[in-house]
């Protein structure tokens, strides 16, 4: 692209941008985009009391629909990769192979670092959990629509911004740590994990709080039409990306550390000879 053409493109873009901004300010002011009051919108984003979805006769939160959707897509991709990509792996990796190996290597390294005695299983677990948290958080960016039982359309949120999803993830991870301690270290390992009984609550609510805060900020930004044009690009996308990376890292790191502690072989105390 020549210099002249580049300048023309920038000027055209700036004029369109300015015209849009002016138009937004002149026409809407600070009026709400939704007829529902902001308090109600945010309460619904947290509790999903009104925006339920009917799935096979069960009234469920939209977060569960998101979870099923994300899992379905991920399982489909996993199958495609397993059937078509992994058998063609080469010693000198291509870009996609490098990406897959990097992801596996990242979680495997995290598992080996934090749980050096038993790292294979927990490596696989945090790989799946990390991928789930990352992709399910990014899922809300696509804004897939569903219809609630009241007939209102709703944008599918991140599965973990639903408190049930966050509790499921936290409790299941704690269960993995507990069972890991029991299998590797017997009841001593299990009791070692049991003493951190606050762990499932802290893990669940950390996930829930972090993802919910992102969702609430996005809801807030989208609520007023004045702030719903440019700012969501920065706030919504960046917050979501940051949450996806940070929460995936935090949960996988915590799980691997606690798993490492519970599965660590107990050291036998050396008794000194009595003189």
- 51-60: long-range contacts at Cβ-Cβ below 8 A with a sequence spacing of 24 or more? 51/148, 51/150, 51/152, 51/154, 52/148, 52/149, 53/146, 53/147, 53/148, 53/149, 53/154, 54/149, 59/149
Which one, 16 or 40, has the nearer CB to other proteins? 40
Q: How many CA atoms lie within 13 A of 190 on its CB side?
A: 6
Query: Which residues of the chain form contacts with other proteins (CB under 8 A)?
Result: 46-49, 58, 60-61, 64, 67-68, 71, 74-75, 78-79, 81-82, 86, 89, 91, 100-101, 104-105, 107-108, 120, 123-125, 127-129, 131-132, 159, 162-165, 167-169, 171-172
Which one, 134 or 222, has the nearer CB to other proteins? 134
Residue 120 beta carbon to other proteins: minimum distance, rounded to whole angstroms: 8
Residue 100 beta carbon to other proteins: minimum distance, rounded to whole angstroms: 6
Which one, 32 or 124, has the nearer CB to other proteins? 124
Angle at 202 between CA 198 and CA 206, to 5 degrees: 180
Residue 251 beta carbon to other proteins: minimum distance, rounded to whole angstroms: 12
Residue 111 beta carbon to other proteins: minimum distance, rounded to whole angstroms: 10
**C-alpha to C-alpha distance for 172 and 166, rounded to whole angstroms:** 10
Which one, 226 or 251, has the nearer CB to other proteins? 251
- Residue 236 per-residue DSSP state: I
Closest to 67 measured CA to CA, from 9, 152, 135: 135
Residue 239 beta carbon to other proteins: minimum distance, rounded to whole angstroms: 22
């Amino acid at each position: 692209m020549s210099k002249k053409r580049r300048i023309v493109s920038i000027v055209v873009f700036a004029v369109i941008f300015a015209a849009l901004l002016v138009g937004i300010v002149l026409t809407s002011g600070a009026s709400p985009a939704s007829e529902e009051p902001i308090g109600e919108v945010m309460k619904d984003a947290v509790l999903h009391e009104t925006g339920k979805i009917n799935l096979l006769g069960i009234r469920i939160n939209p977060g569960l629909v998101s979870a099923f959707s994300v899992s379905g897509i991920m399982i489909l991709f996993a199958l495609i990769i397993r059937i078509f990509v992994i058998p063609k792996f080469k010693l000198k990796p291509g870009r996609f192979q490098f990406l897959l190996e990097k992801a596996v290597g990242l979680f495997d390294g995290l598992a080996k670092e934090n749980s050096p005695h038993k790292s294979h299983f927990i490596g696989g677990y945090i790989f799946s959990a990390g991928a789930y948290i990352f992709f399910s958080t990014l899922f809300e960016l696509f804004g897939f629509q569903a219809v609630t039982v009241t007939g209102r359309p709703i944008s599918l949120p991140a599965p973990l911004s639903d408190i049930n999803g966050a509790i499921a993830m936290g409790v299941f991870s704690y269960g993995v740590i507990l069972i890991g301690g029991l299998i590797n270290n017997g009841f001593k390992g299990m009791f070692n994990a049991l003493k951190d009984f606050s762990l499932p609550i802290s893990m669940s609510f950390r996930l829930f709080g972090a993802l919910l805060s992102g969702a609430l900020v996005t809801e807030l930004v989208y609520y007023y039409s004045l702030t719903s044009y440019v700012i969501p690009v920065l706030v919504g996308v960046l917050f979501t990306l940051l949450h996806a990376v940070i929460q995936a890292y935090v949960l996988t790191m915590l799980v691997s550390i606690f798993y490492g502690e519970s599965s660590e072989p107990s050291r036998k105390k050396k008794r000194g000879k009595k003189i």
